[in-house]
Copies of this chain bind each other. A is one copy, B any other.
Amino acid sequence: MSRAPRKDGIANREKILVAALRTLQRDVTAPMAVVAQEAGVGAGTLYRHFRDRNDLLAALQVRSISMVLALVEEILSRDLSGIDAVHEFLVRTVRHGPDLFLSYHGAPKTSDPEYLRLEKGVWDGVHEFVVHGIADGTLRADLTAHDVIIFGSLIAVPLPGVDDWPAVAGRQIDLFLAAARAG
C-alpha cells in the first residue's frame, strides 16, 4: 500500500502555485529561483513538484481554466435569463483576473490534454448561455458563444499600466452588453 501524502508536501505545492502566479503574472520571464524564493522553498522542492518550467506554466493554466469552468457551471446551475448569464460570466471572469494565468500573459498556450478538456467545457457552457438567451429573447439572434468567449478573454487580463481595471473592464462589459441585447 502507498502511504498517505505528507501534508508539508501538499502545503508546499500550494505555496509554490500561489507564488508562481503572483510572480509570473508580473513578469513571465522571472527565473525559477525567484519563484522558489517567493514561495519560501528551496529550488529542489520547486523542481520536485514541477518537472521543469513548462510544467509549472502548464499547471497554472490548468488551474486557471478550471476556475473559469467552475464559475460557468455555477452560473448554469442558477436559472438566469440569457443576458444575465452572460453578464455574470463576464463580470466574474474579470473579478477572477488576479487569480488567472492564461496564455495572454505571454506564456505559450499549453497543449496539456486536461487543459483542452476543461477549455471545451467552458466553451460548451457559454454556448448554452447564448442559445438559451436567444430563445428567451434577451440576446440578439446572431450572437455566438465565440463572440462572448473572445470578448471575455480580452478583458480577463488587465491591460498593463491601467489603474482600476475592474472599473474599466466593467465599462467595456456594459458596452458589450448594450450591443448583445436583443432589439
Chain A residues at the B interface, C-beta cutoff of 8 Å: 27-29, 103-106, 108-109, 146-147, 150-151, 153-155, 159-162, 168, 171-172, 175-176, 178-180
Which one of B105, B150, B160, B178 contacts A172 once the chains associate, using CB atoms below 8 Å?
A: B150
Q: Which B residues are in CB contact (< 8 Å) with A179?
A: 175-176, 178-179
Q: Which B residues are in CB contact (< 8 Å) with A153?
A: 159
Which one of B106, B147, B151, B172 contacts A28 once the chains associate, using CB atoms below 8 Å?
A: B106
Report the minimal beta-carbon distance from A121 to chain B, rounded to whole angstroms.
17
Q: Which B residues are in CB contact (< 8 Å) with A171?
A: 147, 150
Q: Is the CB of A172 within 8 A of B147?
A: yes
Q: Is the CB of A175 within 8 A of B176?
A: yes
User: How many copies are assembled?
Assistant: 2
Q: Is the CB of A150 within 8 A of B178?
A: no
Give 4 new A-B contacts, CB below 8 A, not counting A150-B171, A178-B179.
A103-B161, A104-B160, A153-B159, A178-B178
A147, A172, A176, A179 — most chain B CB neighbours (10 Å): A179
Q: Which B residues are in CB contact (< 8 Å) with A162?
A: 150
Q: Which B residues are in CB contact (< 8 Å) with A161?
A: 103, 109
CA distance A29 to B180 in the complex (A): 38
Q: Is the CB of A175 within 8 A of B159?
A: no
Q: Which B residues are in CB contact (< 8 Å) with A146?
A: 168
Which one of B154, B155, B160 contacts A109 once the chains associate, using CB atoms below 8 Å?
A: B160
Q: Which B residues are in CB contact (< 8 Å) with A155?
A: 154
CA distance A103 to B153 in the complex (A): 17
CA distance A140 to B147 in the complex (A): 23
Q: Which B residues are in CB contact (< 8 Å) with A109?
A: 160-161
CB-defined A-B contacts under 8 Å, sample of 15 = A29-B106, A104-B159, A104-B160, A105-B106, A109-B160, A150-B159, A150-B162, A150-B171, A150-B172, A151-B175, A154-B155, A154-B159, A175-B176, A175-B179, A179-B179
